[in-house]
Structure formats: structure tokens, C-alpha cells
Amino acid sequence: MNHDNHNENKENILKENTLVNKEFASLKQRIIAALIDLGFFISVFLPVTYLVKGVWIMSPVDHRWAYGLFITDPLCIIFFFLMVIYFILLEGLLGQTIGKFITGIKVIKRDGSKPGIVASCIRNILRVIDSLPTLHIYGIYLILKSPDKTRFGDKKARTIVINKKDTFPVNVT
């Protein structure tokens, strides 16, 4: 990586007389973190599904379907809300899910602070837009094209995803 490209992938901010140097997380790191989180969900949800439903993977016959394509099975609804809470709480309070922790990336506000619950809610609820039209294509496009490697949810929540290991304070006084 040449020096110019390396600097394009960094942002400096001034916070309380401290300059914080951040290197943005790459798309590859974000995808690997998401796959690790998915693996975590699978490792929890499959055994629970087996204990509750008697099957490892539910088929449409195992669900309670109503209103066309909407899943109304209570177990699936519980899993969905647990996933939403997982992302909102871990990213909001710690800046990292298990996948982000393992890959060494972290969500922060633009001022360098932890995102907090409100910003985390915004960035995670807006995953719906980032996932359009399918497979997070819009979010991936924005991460690749934006100078600060942010998706729509990050822009609206005023958050960025950084390499945790490359974050360090430097006194400027």
C-alpha cells in the first residue's frame, strides 16, 4: 500500500486537545466480522431450535405463516429481536460485537467516543436500507465509494468503523 492511499484511509479528529488518529475498517474486515456474528447466532439458534421444535433447521411447514411471507412463529420473532438487541447493545455500549472484537474493528462516533444507544439504534435500524436491493449491495457500494468507508446507517448515526489497533491518542497541547 503506498503512503498516499494509506493516508486516504485515515481521519484525524481533535477531541479535548487530543488528536485521535483512526484508520477506517476495510470492507473485508466488516464482512468477516458479520460472518463471525452470523456463526455465533447459528451456534446459539440451531440448538435452541432443536430443543424447542425438535428440528435443527425449520422449514416453512415448521413455521406459523400468516399474511403471506411474514413469519409469525414466536421462536423466529424472539430470535429476530435478540439479534437486533445484540447489535444495538454491544455496538452502542462497547462499540463492538463479537465479530468486530475478533477482527479488531470498532464502531465509534466521529468525535471518537462510544456510539451510545441512540446512534446504535439509528445505524442498526437503517441496515434495512443498506441491505437493498439484496445482500447489502447498497451498503457495500457506499463503503467502497465513500472516503470514510461508511454505509447509509453510519452516515445518519454519525458513526464510523475503525481499526481498533490503529487508534491512539496524541496530545497536541
Reported confidence tier of residue 75, pLDDT bands at 50, 70, 90: confident
pLDDT confidence of residue 34: 95
Confidence at residue 53, expressed as pLDDT on a 0 to 100 scale: 86
Beta bridge partners of 169: 20
30-34, 50-54, 55-59, 153-157, range with the lowest pLDDT: 55-59
**Cα four-point dihedral sign 135, 26, 33, 89:** negative
Helix axes of 137-145 and 27-53: crossing angle, nearest 10 degrees:
160
Contact 20, 87 (CB under 8 A): no
pLDDT tens digit sequence for 117-157:
999 999 999 998 988 878 889 999 999 999 989 999 999 99
166 pLDDT band (50/70/90 cuts)? low
Residue 79, beta-bridge partner list = none
**CB under 8 Å to 27, separation ≥6 — which residues?**
140, 143, 144, 149
